[in-house]
Chain A
Amino acid sequence: MSLVPGDPALVPTPAPTRVPAPGQAPDTGTALPGGDRADVVPGRWRRAAGPVGRGLVWAVVAAVPLAFLAVFFLWPVGSMLARGVTDAAGQLDLSAFAEVLAESRTWRLVGQTLGLAVAGTLGSLLLGLPGAYVLYRCRFPGRNLLRGLSTVPFVLPTVVVGTAFRALLAENGPLGFLGLDQTLTAVVLAMVFFNFSVVVRQVGALWSTLDPRTGEAARMLGASPWRTFVTVTVPALGPAIASAGSLVFLFCSTAFGIVQTLGRPGVGTLETEIYIQTTAFLDLRTAAVFSTLQFVVVILAVTLANRFRAGTETALRLREPTSHPLRRGDAVPFAVTMLTVVLLIAAPIVALVARSFQSSQGWGLRNYELLGSSAGSGFAGGTTVLQALEHSVKIALDATVITLVVGVPLALLLTRPVRSRWAARAQRLFDAAIMLPLGVSAVTVGFGFVVSLVASAPQLAYSGALVPLAQAVVALPLVVRSLVPVLRAVDPRLREAAAVLGAPPGRVLRTVDGPFLVRGLGLAAGFAFAVSLGEFGATTFLASPDYQTLPVLIVRLLGRPGEDNYGMAMAGSVILAVLTATVMLVCERLRPRGAAGTGAGF
């Protein structure tokens, strides 16, 4: 596998000597032996009480995220899926499965779903890898701006993206000559548009901390740049690539808006079929069968990715993130990245921004001036865009707090060193399962809420109080995904050393894990905030009409006639995009030096 078998950086060492940021090391290693020796009480009685008591504590810590997921994810989704395997009387009945699985159309749906998702994932990886290198490993003016820009698509409402893409690709549009309007290619391009930054961030963050000397050694020993890349760099990046790939696959396989709007979907995908069966035919049994199929696809994908990730996860020698000025050899990845960013990412955004400055009175700020009022033509009363923005920000703050309250204990649990095989297996299983909310249809979740939470507590549901909770479910996987790698970077020997020296577990947590956690927290919070800000699917089901969020209002504005409504939708989208990009940039800045950790992109 390695060109340089002797290189210590590539040889998996049983206990990696990972040096965190220079500024952090004293917190962990040196603080303990000094003043904390007094804590060491060599009493045997502690040994007896320890494991039981600690198990109890962790059980309590585990209870928060588990209860949260049970109530806000498993219950709603479970109530929907249960309808696929029961008849009207509630008895087990698998006939719906037999019927659906016997149809050849079902398998065409599965095929098209997989085809589109694989194409979208490969496209995102192919363009995202050079992007990760250029935007995280190289240094040039404007780099941070490009990083921020590439995040924008992530939170734009799909309806707006559909409109922006179609404005470019439609027969009369500037790129109409490509003939891509309403083709599957357009759908795949939109998937790459949305997910490019997922790959760039996740892979880039790890890439920037790889020790360049390994590659240099390979080059010195006569390997070509390509050979070095394939045999040294790619294997080292394996975990991040697998992790990003599985995230992108989940997003692509549940894509709805862009498949409907941009493609002439023909048979459609599992996601569009679930939507149609649920909303058009109210055939919840059939919808549940398709939801289950989707679930199976997602579980297979997550399992595969996890296996791949586990297979490539080796101890890496990481260091402070480094970047170098652009070199001659970077020409190809740089060109690829610039083309991607300009043509694929920026073009639709520029079209959107340009359109937001056009109104019935020509170019100008009219659309923006209208945002604070409800005076545009054909728009009387109701929430204004600025009010909706305020609602969105407040709800997103709530959702961020909830996500962190749930996500931090979860991430700690998942990275605890455990002894028993059973516990390790449970950890791995849960680590994979936490991704599932991303792989479940928004319609399934939305109607699931209706038959579970809304049915049980209607007044609570109608008050809109469930909105931040539902958004937290959507943000949780990304938050856990961004915290876990950072915590895994903690050398277990540090914890052990601290414990041997007598630091109580609380103190180990605070002084060893704490600094790592704090590093990841800023970015995790940023993601939670950004995801909540852009969330549409669950929000539209649960938001109180008096407390609409910006994405929901944008979509509703687009559903009303009148140029002013259209203009306000565009201007509102631009504001949403600018806000998100700013939040992400700030969170990245807030991250202390050297906190890139291992693949903390998501």
Chain B
Amino acid sequence: MHWSKSALAALAAAGLAALPAAAQQAPPAPASRFVVVLDAAHGGSDPGGRLGSGQPEKAATLALSVRLRSLLAARGIAVVTTRESDATIDSNRRAAIANYAAAQVCLSLHASDSGSGAHLFVSSLAPVQATRFAAWKTAQAAWVTRSLALAGVLNSALLHGGMNVTLDRTTLPTVDSMTCPAVAVEVAPERGPDGQITAEPDDPAYQARVAGAVAAAVLEFRTEARQP
């Protein structure tokens, strides 16, 4: 587990020239702590899928997590990551890190060679009222409504960024055990009108665009969450 440095965040938010406009307009230090958990899927002995570039999925998700962490920290958002290196972490541990952080946004990052654009997944658990004690495997059920709202904001931001987006439900053990608004984001290749791949999921420029759109969505979600 790695916490971003608030000092670094403040410095970055203060005006690094390379930051997009949204970062420069970010409000000063928020009154209440807004925490985002980034879960780079797979890692270590679990390589995940194999991308068209030949890279394993675990490398692409880690690169995206690092890039996204920097963007969010630059906007003054506290970020917790489940891994910062090529380490094996099981799904229970990942969910435990997210739940311990009491995050307002949890993003499980994946990459795939099939489909196109970005695939957003919310847990397929049926929504329930929050209770004091929740079953571990279905803890996300009390958060599904908020997760759907988060997916909607992400969908808008990614579409605005010119990406093809699909929105669906799935059963993913890591997400199903998270007690926070949680969405699994799967980055697929970018394809042209003829269906040919124009950018692989581990392409740095493509990842930068995805990360920028996701960061903008998180900021939007934070703003919406703070509105009375």
Do these two chains really belong together in a complex?
A: no
Residues of A within 8 A of B (CB): none
